[in-house]
Amino acid sequence: MNSVEENIRNAFIAVHKTHENVNKLMEYCRTIANEKTNYNTANGKILRWQPERDYYSWCMDDFILLFQRKTDTKLTNEWRDGPVYAVEIMLSNYENPEQMPTIYLSKFEYEDIASWDKGFSQSNFWSFYYPLRDEDTMVYQPNVEGITQATPKTKEIADLEYRGLSKVSFMDLPMMNVNAENVEDKIFGNFEKLYHSK
């Protein structure tokens, strides 16, 4: 085996191991949420970017898991009448190659979540991805105590692109700072901070 072949093989071994670890973290978040916190998973699916238009998307590097508070009223569409909380794990950022693996924690507030359909599909990934980073469609408020807030520039953008989003509040932390011993505090403790943010 030559060095190029070995490098390719080793790179894919590392990617597969990383995906396995992301899955373990997401599954652990589900377990902790249901057993020890005020949150439940919202749709059960891990949302991920998977278009086939360009080669970059062949390697999945961004994953989102949704939660809602157990105390919010359950609606007929199986969502709860309250914000949606998201754990997003971004392993790499093609727009900023220097960025290290990052976890984004977000609180999405909507005008009328009761009007949503049941369930969710992979195509809904974008409605939780872009509000945190699209300056063409969102207005960002300065970071206060580690929390950034953003609102859609227009009601049309909110309705057509972001399912009636009224506001998103979010923070980030280095992925390597989260482990089995502190996931309850680092993820769900920060969800509580987002919950209390105005």
Pairwise pLDDT comparison (19 vs 85), residue with the higher score: 85
Question: Residues 109, 83: contact at Cβ < 8 Å?
Answer: yes
pLDDT value at 120 more than 80: no
For 64-97, give the DSSP string.
EEEEEETTSPBPTTSSBSS-EEEEEEES--TT-T
User: What pLDDT sits at residue 54?
Assistant: 67
pLDDT value at 57 more than 70: no
pLDDT value at 183 more than 70: yes
Angle (CA) 123 101 188, round 5°: 75
Q: Which of 31-35, 68-72, 84-88, 167-171 has the lowest mean pLDDT?
A: 31-35
In terms of pTM, does the model score above 0.85? yes
**With b meaning 16 or more CB within 10 Å and e meaning fewer, what string describes 14-51?**
eeeebeeebeebbebbbebbeeebebbbbbebbbbbee
Span 178-182, average pLDDT: 92
Q: State CA 70 to chain mean position distance.
A: 19
